[in-house]
Amino acid sequence: MRRDSLAWWLLLVIASIAAIAAYEFIAHQRHSAWLMARMEKIVLIGKHTEVPCVEVAATQPLVLLALGQSNAGNHGALPSHAAESVILIAEGKCIRATDPLPGGTGQGGSIWQRLSTLLSTQTEARAVALSVLAVDSTSIADWTSPNSPLGARLASQVVSMRRLGLPPEFVLWQQGEADALLGTSSEDYSTGLGKLATILSEAGVSAPIFLARSTICQTKPNAAIRSAIEGRISSDLRFRLGPDMDTLSGNTFRNGCHLTAGGLDSAAKMWATTISAEFPAMEVAR
């Protein structure tokens, strides 16, 4: 091959590599901007009544950290009646809050207010304190990729909880629909779960992570995500099996993805059953 032909081919290869790198950089920047815009919709504490965190910690509550996408946030139906406020840890403060709960996106109802009420009314049950970080449409990569603003926010939130004397005792992971729609492989999702656990442990928390199987969004249950969850639980002691949200049926989804008031009630009871299994004296009201 003549030298000028070789040089031409080398230039072509370099130009192709540069074009691919530029495309990936632009795509990354666009996705980062999209994620930041999503995070800006997280509900703030606003005018919720503040409670001294020292007083909350003194009750030695069961502290739950709820994480995930829209069904972990405030995208369900609001109840038709006024709900009892719950203790919530957000923005370095403790507050009495009602749906929509600060820490999650959406302006509707959540699983967690119902869950807190269920657990708090059980015989001999401990007080419950919640912290939420939930952003709609986010994939597991959005939480765990290097330099992810969402991963950084999670780490910061956990560190803040520890400083307040209210570290999470259980982490509740309610996510999977976005990855089901993206076609994330079982291997990649499992890797993401491992990275999620690392973010938490590096922030000083070794609480067990309960994984809901939650993959339906106008689709059938996703086998790859469910397999990744079940594989992690069987091979990694940091994880435990959470409720199977994919089994919800009937009038539980209002748009194929988000939960009706009845769906939120059912999901909260499923989570309560999971958590109460850790405390034999606690029985979930049926």
Q: How many CB atoms lie within 10 A of CB 242?
A: 23
Q: State residue 241 phi and psi, 5-degree precision.
A: -80, 125
In eight-state DSSP terms, residue 246 is: G
Residue 104: the pLDDT is: 98
Residue 4: the pLDDT is: 67
Residue 29: the pLDDT is: 59
Residue 284: band (very low, low, confident or very high) from pLDDT cuts 50, 70, 90: very low
- Do the beta carbons of residue 38 and residue 136 sit within 8 Å? yes
Alpha-carbon distance of 188 to 21, in angstroms, equals 22
pLDDT tops 50 at residue 112: yes
Residue 23: band (very low, low, confident or very high) from pLDDT cuts 50, 70, 90: very low
Residue-wise pLDDT tens digits, 228-276: 999 999 999 999 999 999 999 777 887 788 999 999 999 999 999 999 8
Residue-wise pLDDT tens digits, 195-221: 999 999 999 999 999 999 999 998 899
> Average per-residue pLDDT in the chain?
89
Mean pLDDT across the stretch 57-79? 95
Residue 3: the pLDDT is: 62
pLDDT tops 80 at residue 177: yes
pLDDT tops 70 at residue 176: yes
Residue 25: the pLDDT is: 46
Cα torsion 75, 47, 131, 177 to 10°: value is: 10
DSSP string, 52-66: -HHHHHHT--EEEEE
Alpha-carbon distance of 62 to 245, in angstroms, equals 23
**170-174 and 62-68 as β-strands: parallel, antiparallel, unpaired?**
parallel
Contacts (Cβ under 8 Å, ≥6 apart) of 41:
105, 106, 135, 136
Residue 10: band (very low, low, confident or very high) from pLDDT cuts 50, 70, 90: low
Alpha-carbon distance of 132 to 99, in angstroms, equals 12
Q: What is the pTM of this model?
A: 0.89
Share of the chain above pLDDT 90, in %: 75
Alpha-carbon distance of 140 to 228, in angstroms, equals 12
pLDDT tops 60 at residue 138: yes
Q: What is the largest CA-CA distance in the chain?
A: 86
Residue 145: the pLDDT is: 95
- Do the beta carbons of residue 166 and residue 129 sit within 8 Å? yes
Local structure of 35: helix, strand or coil: helix
